[in-house]
Structure 1
Amino acid sequence: MTLNRRTFLGTGVAVAAALQAPMVLGAGKPRVVVIGGGAGGATAARYIAKGSQGAIDVTLVEPTRTYYTCFFSNLYLGGFREMPSLAHSYGKLAGNYGINVVHDWAVGIDRDARTVTLAGGGTLPYDRLILSPGIDFVEGAVEGWGLAAQNRMPHAYKAGSQTELLKSQIEAMPEGGTFAMVAPPNPFRCPPGPYERVSMVAHILKERNPTAKIVVADPKTNFSKMALFQEGWAKHYNGMIDWIGGDFGGGNVSVDPDAMTVTIDGEQIKVDVCNVIPAMKAGRICELAGITDDNWVPVDGRTMQSRMDQNIHVLGDASAQGDMPKSGFSANSQAKVAAMAVQAALTDAKLFPAKFSNTCWSLIAANDGVKVGATYEATEDKIAKVDGFISQTGEDAELRQATYEESIGWYAGITSDMFG
């Protein structure tokens, strides 16, 4: 199916219809607090506020006033988008849907009292809490690197200033210089993301600095869309990219941000730019809530409820839910299921069986787009894959261009679905 803005928005119609015209149970107006204003949190807040027609009080807690999408930020690095095109505000959520948007950090959760503590000193009570905080990084995951080094060796896996910094470093590389990436272990946000980024860096270097080299140290022996990316790299950037997988020492890596060196399996390389993407975990607020198991939050895929606290729903990257990848599309899909479950719990709205979908597009070169995706259903144990699809090697240029154009339509659709 070709996906554009209209058809993407249509995927939420069934959920929205199920949420219409509820009758509040009990005398008090139920309160929902959503922490995190990205693809999961913003969508959940909007669907609950719109669907309940004012029957539920919705508060969205998000520290930033302008949200930059991590998805499509690689296209900014490659010169295919400008940074303002990734920026979105929360004005419509407040003005059109009556959501109380609070720009502050959530720093504590009292699960017994059902309250959220804010950095500014405020406290928010809730009947249901939705957490969609995205990712944080595992300290010490890459030897020699920590958040203190992120300006020398940026991660750029939280979009905004880090993305701009990485692009400026790439553009300032000396002629014939070396760009290095330290790729993350599974599971992580956007499985094709690092490899689309490699493609976009190669694209800009091919134009500006064609003798430059790219070295990727990867702890994995394979990665999402591997055959498609490697075919594209050979076609568009032949000889520029050296990918070192886990079976060749790619997981044995240390860095020195001061000396700007990367050591891969004992071999030290002097680099000009180093993009370190460390191992990831659920956003810090999930740890503070005491609902993580290892680095992620186990959830019941039928409602996205935490398996440790039924009053908390966890969406997107932070959740351990089964077969769905950690992506913006996934978070948006899960948000609609959680919104339906919250309304069913707090009002007389009907709860329907949870269905999910995901597609991840990647751009390899100009008009050379590829995709992978699947549909899913919720079981008692997990969100389980039902069927899937993936672009094929050897596709013609017309199909690849159509795939890229489809992704543009999806971006317009999902950001409208998130922010109104």
Structure 2
Amino acid sequence: MPNITRRTFGFVVGAGATTLAMPYYARAQGKPRVVVIGGGAGGATAARYMAKDAGEDLDVTLIEANPQYTTCFFSNLYLGGYRSFDSITHGYDNLASNYGITVVNAMADSVDREAREVVMADGSKVPYDRLIVAPGIDLIYDSVPGYSEEAAEVMPHAWKAGPQTKLLKARLDAIENGQQVVMVAPPNPYRCPPGPYERVSMMAHLFKEKGYDDCKIVIIDPKPKFSKQGLFTEGWEKYYPGMIEWYGPDVHGGIASVDPQTGEVETDLDTFRGDLVNVIPAQKAGMIAASAGLTNDSGFCPIDPASMRSQADENIFVIGDASIAGDMPKSGFSANSQAKVAAMTIRGELTGSKVFPAKYSNTCWSLIETNDGVKVGAQYAPSAEKIASTSSFISQTGEDDALRQATYEESVGWYKGITTDIFGT
């Protein structure tokens, strides 16, 4: 039985039956029901904002399979030794106890759009008037020939934070001087565009701290360029000269296969062997989004730019990494921003409260070396076709040390602020 906090099931007796039917989650008397699938930066924010701003007018349920959430953002700092694992891991107790949200720690299996019910893995059903789908990403393992879910236990991706993050950290800590790390970077679009390159920076930082002067990190990238490339390249040359090599597709010619048994990555150019191989495959919307019929041929979910409403179903909203959000990148900040727009829209529809024009924002910070932080971000507004950037900014090469330290300190403050905004703690 799933662990359900704050509220309880109702059971119904099947007609003519002597046994109880599958449990049916009870609706609070007279209240519209909003269900959120996924307790990450988007889903938990949406649930909290609806419960916080609607008071007793909405019945809010948050379905999340995991009892705790580990943030992908700042997980690279854990790899680099700047953060503990506990510092990037958060629970849902406060959402239940302080905001009256029903938190269901169980797996949602499918969505019955006609009946407006979420069908749980145990067969129980959660009815909704509005549904927010925030399942994050799923990995397309076979987008890298030879890679698989089983291979990820040898060649960790760590692109879903949690046990994979710990595995990559353990493997990274075991590297000895003179050994080589190979990263297979992901193709667009993917979660956190600067993330792979911050990860490489944190790996290099760890080796430098240990006094390893003979380690190599090789990046095999399917993209001809990457986010903040000039900033990362400048930093790598400054702090880790000769340690990091980046190969774009024009050089390596294509990734033919990876071999978990030998640690080899075969390309048209050469075969690269890693004592640690970090494979980050292509990505798509979390599985339940596809099974609910919310995705298109891209594997992600088209939405209305003004509300985050699914283009496939007027009663469903898709936020975060699973959505096709125009110019917005897939990031925790983006998901948090989109969640507030969706929550405001739903609250307006179900309670008659005022709905303001949608505005979105995002900033992505990256740490290159101690106190050397860089950032990129933008403000966004809906257009007829997409969520469009209205203004943007990015750190510049050659910035002085004081500015870079201030940028890093800003990111630390942001992390504390956004996790409080998500979980209300």
TM class, shorter-length: over 0.9
TM-score, normalization: structure 1? 0.92
Q: Say which is worse superposed, 395-404 or 254-263, in terms of deviation.
A: 254-263
Deviations 1:220-274 (A, max 9, x none): 1111100000000000000000100121126434200011111122511221000
Of 400, 405, 410, the match for 2:409: 405
Partner of 1:45: 47
Q: Which stretch of structure 1 is more off in the superposition, 377-386 or 325-334?
A: 377-386
Give unpaired runs (5+ residues) of structure 2: 1-28
Check if 1:389 corresponds to 2:393.
yes
For 2:373, the equivalent position in structure 1 comes to 369
CA contact (8 A) 1:34 1:60 kept: yes
Larger radius of gyration: 2
Q: 1:275 — aligned with what?
A: 278
Map Cα deviations across residues 3-35 of structure 1 (whole Å, 9 max, x no partner).
xxxxxxxxxxxxxxxxxxxxxxxx831000000
Q: More relative contact order in 1 or in 2 (CA 8 Å, sep 6+)?
A: 1
Aligned position for 1:155:
157
Distance in 2 separating the partners of 1:308 and 1:207: 51
Q: Give % identity.
A: 60
Instruction: Report SS of the residue matched to 1:147.
Output: coil
1:351-370 residue CA offsets vs partner (Å, 9 max, x unmatched): 11100010000000000000
Q: Distance in 2 between matches of 1:221 and 1:377?
A: 29
Structure 1 runs of 4+ aligned residues shifted over 6 Å read: none
Matched letter for residue 404 of structure 2: R
d(CA) in 1 for partners of 2:321, 2:254: 23
Give distance in 2, aligned partners of 1:206 and 1:221: 28
Q: Deviations over 1:48-81 (max 9, x none)?
A: 0111101110000001111100000000000110
* 2:199 maps to 1:197: yes
Kindly indicate whether the alpha-carbon contact (under 8 Å) linking 1:68 and 1:88 is maintained by their aligned counterparts in 2.
yes
1:246 to 233, 245, 249: 249
For residue 373 of structure 2, give the secondary structure of its aligned residue in structure 1: strand
Distance 1:293 1:28 in 2: 36
Residues 6-405 of structure 1: pairs in structure 2 closer than 5 A: 28-208=30-210, 209-249=212-252, 251-294=254-297, 295-405=299-409
Distance 2:254 2:415 in 1: 33
How far 1:390 sits from its partner (Å)? 0.2
What do you get for the CA RMSD once the two structures are aligned? 1.0
Shift in Å at residue 380 of structure 1? 2.1
Secondary structure of the 1:214 match is strand
Q: Give the whole-Å Cα distance in 2 for the aligned partners of 1:190 and 1:373.
A: 12
One-letter amino acid matched to 1:87: T
Aligned to 1:13: none
What secondary structure is seen at the aligned counterpart in 2 of 1:202?
helix
Which 5+ residue runs of structure 1 have no aligned equivalent? 1-26
CA contact (8 A) 2:253 2:269 kept: no
How many residue pairs match? The answer is 394
What is the alpha-carbon distance in structure 2 between the residues aligned to residue 321 and residue 262 of structure 1? 33
Give, in whole Å, the separation in 2 of the partners of 1:353 and 1:56.
22
> What's the CA shift string for 1:135-180, capped at 9, x where partnerless?
0012410010011111100000011111111111111123200101
- The 3-state SS of whatever aligns with 2:417 is helix
Q: Which amino acid aligns with 2:261?
A: D
Distance apart, 1:343 and its partner CA: 0.6
> Are the equivalent residues in 1 in contact too, given 2:133–2:318 (CA < 8 A)?
yes
Does the CA-based 8 Å contact 2:252-2:270 persist in structure 1?
no
What is the CA–CA distance in structure 2 between the aligned matches of 1:227 and 1:270, rounded to whole Å? 27
Matched-pair contact (CA < 8 Å) for 2:68–2:91: yes
Q: Could you tell me the TM-score, scaled by structure 2's length? A: 0.91
